[in-house]
Chains A and B, each alone.
Chain A
Amino acid sequence: MRPRDRYLLILLGLISLAGLGLLTGTSESVASASPAFQTTPIPVGSVPMSNAECLECHGDPTMILPLPSGEQVSLAVDRIVYGTSIHGQLGYACVQCHTDITGFPHPETDFEDARDMTVHMSQTCGECHTDAKGEYEMGAHAALQESGEKTAAVCADCHGSHSTEQFSAGRTAIARACQQCHASIYDAYADSIHGESLLNEFNVDVPTCVDCHVAHNNTGPTTEGFHLRSPELCAKCHANEELMSKYGVNTDVFETYIADFHGTTVSIFERTTPDQETNKPVCIDCHGVHDIQSPENTDSTVYKQNLLSTCQRCHEDATTNFSDSWLNHYEPDPENHTIVWVVDLFYSIFIPATLGGMALFVVTDFWRSRIKK
């Protein structure tokens, strides 16, 4: 074996090691079980080849397939890894996924490189998981694949191949799956109030990636529609009285946002012109997205001392007093934002008093001039 090939094999070995590490890792409580399509395993004897037959060759851990790109892909299947996977546990036959294999010798393959092979093999998943396939095809990853971006995620990138587990078994596993390609975003998330709580305390109340981005038909957060709708994502939890009371978090945040100039504009945009761009901020523009922190955290973008610089992201010329124009999600009352409260109170008296006085004259005049004459 040439040294170069050996190192490639070392690398592949390392990847499978990481896979095994995941298998032996902690699994947390189930948060939301999304039903996966299940077919009945084909009874042994009715498939063209049994797993035992396959493993006669593919049980050899050194078995590799050299590809035109120079890469060498391991063709070995570890009994333990497959046996503990969801498909292995349910007793599926190798050839139920590898449908082109009906005997030996196998048909020729024409994969250029290892990525080609992964992308191609992931197409087999949709044969049974038709719902997931349909959703995936509406998503951003599928659109990228369509445009020729081979690195965009396919089934096996997130779910694994022979080691497939049920994702509903672990919300941290979801975040780690996304981390494979979105490592810097994962790092920001891991340090956020949500990420820290999930990854360190295994708290299933906090959102993991797919709670905001959706698992399969994620439309991509850079579209304007996503930006406009995003307050609804936050509101899913932050307007939930029961959930928020556990953490002492105010659920008025959504209402008070809508009552403010920014929120009013965004809500109008969303209803009238959902595809138009607006320069008014939504939750994430002030609070941050993946790196979101508690407003009491001194690193938070909305921490009192950091607020001005957050305002300045859009209001470049803003100075010290400017950030006080934001009411911090409070309803004005005598203690908070006294001036606003006084103005509201003034008009709540002044308007009915003025109109009442006018009505007195108008009604009596009408009575005297039209009815009593």
Chain B
Amino acid sequence: MPPCGIAAWGHPFFKKHISMEEKPERYLRFPLFRRIEHWVMALSFTILAVTGLPQKYAENPISEFVLGLFGGIEGARIVHRIAAVALALIAIWHVGYAVWHLFVRREKATMMLNKDDAFNAWETLKYNLGRKDERPKQGYYTFEEKIEYWALIWGTMVMVATGFFLWNPITAARSLPGEWIPAAKAAHGGEALLAVLAIILWHLYHVLVRTFNRSMFNGYLTREQMEHEHPLALEEVPRPALDEEKLARRKTQFWVGYGLVATLWLIGLVWFVTTEQTASATIPPPQGMEVYVPLTPTPLFAVETVPEASERYGDTWDGGIGALFAEKCGACHDPGDGRGGLDLTTLGGALAGGESGPAVRPGAPGVSLVLVWSGLPGHPGEFSPLEQAAVWNWILEGAP
């Protein structure tokens, strides 16, 4: 964790023991605020992981069960976003905490990585492998803790940035290539998996398995733990008291600067959460088309034309229909070798019909083959709509 430990250094409890010139039994490592910060973040991290990973591994039956606990995928997404906001608030709180101790209180940046950490890591490995008898002596924060801390900082930054793309894809695509959104999704998932596995493998091993570290529960490390894990911190010379005047000035500078940053951060967070309505709540129906549209048969001719048609072409065989048949059909369906065995030049021939049956069925124009066949595509002879009307009416009237 961050440079907080140094804050504990100046804690009255600690000073009291120093002044008594005897070694204290326990050392305050995490004051209440640090512990609250840790546990809020741990809760937020856990919720994010529990609601997030099932989305990455949606096909897994465990995911199905977990999502069910949140009332389904949409419920899980809402909870995920609430936890994300909590994490963003913790982040700005932590920035303030770090700046307060490093800048205002001029404490040593005990969390910064340096070349000693590389050395310590190497020496630790040699010790673990039995090549050395002593662990390297480490300071207030060991290299293990620093890796933990900076991995968390890196991870949070990646998750906030990629999370923005996923939360606000339209806004993101206004100024960046659209492909960055699926790329952000890939990174968000990859980083999440890394973070969860690293917490389990690295953090939980070190604080629960290797030694059961109570400092994040009760705030204290025992003297043995301090001597064993952080011997160099015990050798630190207490820092001289700060110049009250300069301290007051830096406090003012802090509140102005941090106030501005925190305000911008909060405004940014509100914007982050509210800037876009990514999608409409419902999908518009695929086709805005009427479902029930009955097919009305296209008439061969307009019924209103029947009187005019009969007037023009006649309403009896001798009165014009016979002549119409002779003209339109007689070329093929003639006496003797009529096509299809059909002779349409005489009324008798039409009634008798050919191979397919009667060409004219008096009273039933709908099934009279003369109208059926002549209407088929590709048939050489065809009636005009008005001629059809006349023939139709003639057959309907009994084909006189």
Contact = CB atoms under 8 A, between A and B. Distances in A.
Given A184-B290, A343-B190, A347-B194, A76 B174 contact: no
A318 to B, nearest CB: 5
Nearest to B366: A13
A20 interface: yes
Interface string A71-103: 000001010110000000000000000000000
Contact of B170 (A319, A348, A351, A354): A319
A278 B77 CA distance: 13
Interface in A49-75: 60-62
A268 B294 contact: no
Given A284-B286, A355-B201, A16 B366 contact: yes
A300 B398 CA distance: 54
B286 A184 contact: no
18 contacts: A10-B303, A10-B365, A14-B299, A20-B367, A20-B372, A62-B364, A261-B185, A267-B58, A279-B279, A279-B282, A285-B286, A317-B170, A324-B179, A325-B179, A347-B191, A351-B194, A358-B201, A364-B128
A24 B174 CA distance: 60
Nearest to B166: A261
Given A325-B179, A337-B182, A313 B169 contact: no
A258 B103 CA distance: 50
Interface stretch (A34-42, A117-125, A174-182): A174-182
Interface string A286-322: 0011110000000000000000000001111111011
B329 interface: no
A325 B181 contact: yes
B366 A17 contact: yes
Contacts of A2: none
B4 interface: no
B71 to A, nearest CB: 8
A30 interface: no
A243 interface: no
A367 B128 contact: yes
B396 A273 contact: no
A358 B376 CA distance: 83
B237 interface: no
Given A14-B297, A279-B283, A9 B197 contact: no
Given A12-B366, A17-B372, A313 B283 contact: yes
Chain A interface size band reads 35 or more
A327 B284 contact: no
Contact of B300 (A14, A62, A340): A14
A254 interface: no
A289 B68 CA distance: 32
Would you call the interface of chain B mostly helix, strand, loop, or mixed?
helix
A368 B291 contact: no
A360 interface: yes
Contact of A317 (B72, B277, B297): B277
A203 to B, nearest CB: 21
B366 A325 contact: no
A18 interface: yes
Would you call the interface of chain A mostly helix, strand, loop, or mixed?
helix
Nearest to B392: A10
A9 B292 CA distance: 25
B58 A268 contact: yes
A344 B183 CA distance: 8
Contacts of B300: 14, 17
Contacts of B392: 10, 13
Given A20-B367, A314-B280, A327 B173 contact: no
Contact of A6 (B210, B281, B396): B396
Given A14-B300, A372-B130, 18 more contacts: A76-B364, A182-B291, A183-B294, A186-B295, A313-B284, A315-B279, A322-B170, A322-B173, A322-B178, A324-B178, A337-B182, A344-B186, A347-B186, A355-B194, A358-B198, A358-B202, A361-B124, A365-B210
Nearest to A327: B182
Given A6-B396, A151-B292, A183-B294, A268 B186 contact: no
Interface string A244-263: 00000000000000101100
B187 A15 contact: no
A189 to B, nearest CB: 11
Contacts of B129: 364, 368
Contacts of B127: 368
A323 interface: yes
Interface string B325-368: 00000000000000000000000000000000100010111110
A222 B286 CA distance: 10
